[in-house]
Amino acid sequence: MIGLVSINYKNAPIEVREKFDFSVAQKKDFCKIIKTKRIVEGIMILSTCNRTEIYFENEKFTGLETKIIHKVLKELVDYKSFFDSLSPYVETKTSKYVTEHLFRLVSGLESMIIGEYQIVEQIKESFAFAKTNNMLSPILERMIQKSFEAGKYIRTNTYIDKGAVSISYAVVEKLSKFPQINSSNILVVGAGETSLLTIKHLLKKQIENICVVNRSLEKAKAIAKKCNIRFDNFTDLPKLLVKYDIVIFSTSAKKSLVSFEDIKSVQQLREDKSIIFFDLSVPRNLPSSISKIKGVSLINIDNLKDQVNQNYKKRKLEIAKAEGFIHFFLKDFNQWKTSRHLRPSIIALNDQFDDLLKSDHDKCSCCNKLLKDCINFSNQHNRIRTKFLNNLIKKIKEVSDNGKDEDALDIINKIFSYNE
């Protein structure tokens, strides 16, 4: 059985979600507890600001899904010392519904922002951690790997993650159309979350000539160090503007930080060379009248929101197409999972042929044949073995409906499970 316990933004407020956050050490500790008690064979914990999800698998407990889910939930609430009722906040799934949920999650269909990519990096990190610490079972590992395959295909063949759906990325999308962007000097005014995200998006586009200023010099220094960019002094902002071609304002100031006259003076010193201002602040940091000054372009948050909303609508239109692809990958994974029922027969077949080959090889070795003849004899046997086994395994899969037909499967296992 495959199971899932999920506490996510759809059902649980932040006050509940934060109580189920897992540090790296806690992940290791909880997984050790639950595996020691033999509740699961494989487990992966995904812990982000929007969700805590525990994926687990135990092939031995097929048919006992509800019982195992309850055991995992009990261990979870005990470990986190959560004494209120968890029922209103938790979502549980089993079998194919777990696989479908994970495929949707990696594809960006379950995220707060449709198509966002950060969730892929978070799942990859959780997967790598689980694998490094030997927490995965073969089925769980294959399911997660298949989800990455599905997500990559969907993001490549749909527009589910195309177009900016955040203000910070909308700035970068707008700037990427500017021909001289890579040679332009960019100033970011402000050191909050939006400024940080904007800088990160710019750096991902290999736009690196960036400087940050803030009323708190320490905060500007901190962002500059974190992003490996320059910082400057905020004290005389109008004079500073002369050096820059693109200026992005994102502060919590309650009034304009520069005046119409300030920008007019800046442009005189710049000899009316083009300058683009982005005002992402509410209240606005720049007077709207500056757009009348020669060479000045002003883009405010409302201009960008229109673009973001249009892009979001386009993404929503791609959901049905993405779900169709998910169905295809689900079918492929379920066929592989079902075919695992044939493993005992296939392993027995391989073992029996290996024994026969060894027996013939031993007879060959006992004879006074040349080594070259023995090698040719062995190579010929291996070719026959491979061809015969491949055809036989193909027929076994056809007869048993890839392991779904239990009666046929039982007969096949009886035929090939003898020991000689």
**How many other CB atoms sit within 10 Å of the CB of residue 336?**
14
Rounded to whole angstroms, the Cα distance separating 342 from 402 reads 8
Which residues make Cβ contacts (< 8 Å) with residue 129, sequence separation at least 6?
24, 27, 135
Q: Rounded CA gap, 177 and 182, in Å?
A: 11
d(CA 271, CA 266): 9
Helix 193-204 vs helix 217-227: angle between axes, to the nearest 10 degrees? 30
319-339 and 138-157 helices cross at what angle (nearest 10)?
Answer: 150
Task: Return the axis-axis angle of helices 24-36 and 65-79, rounded to nearest 10°.
Answer: 130
Q: Per-residue b/e over 106-124, b at no fewer than 16 CB within 10 Å?
A: bbbbbbebbbbeebbebbe
Query: Sheet harboring 51-57: ordered strands across?
Result: 42-47, 51-57, 2-8, 91-94
Active site (annotated) includes residue 31:
no
H helices present in 60-137, as ranges: 65-79, 96-106, 118-132
Active-site residue identified among 31, 49, 211, 367: 49
Measure the CA–CA gap between 316 and 115, rounded to whole angstroms.
Answer: 9
Residue 335 contacts by C-beta under 8 Å, 6 or more apart in sequence? 402
Pairing of strands 42-47, 51-57: antiparallel
Q: Among all residues, which ones are annotated catalytic?
A: 49
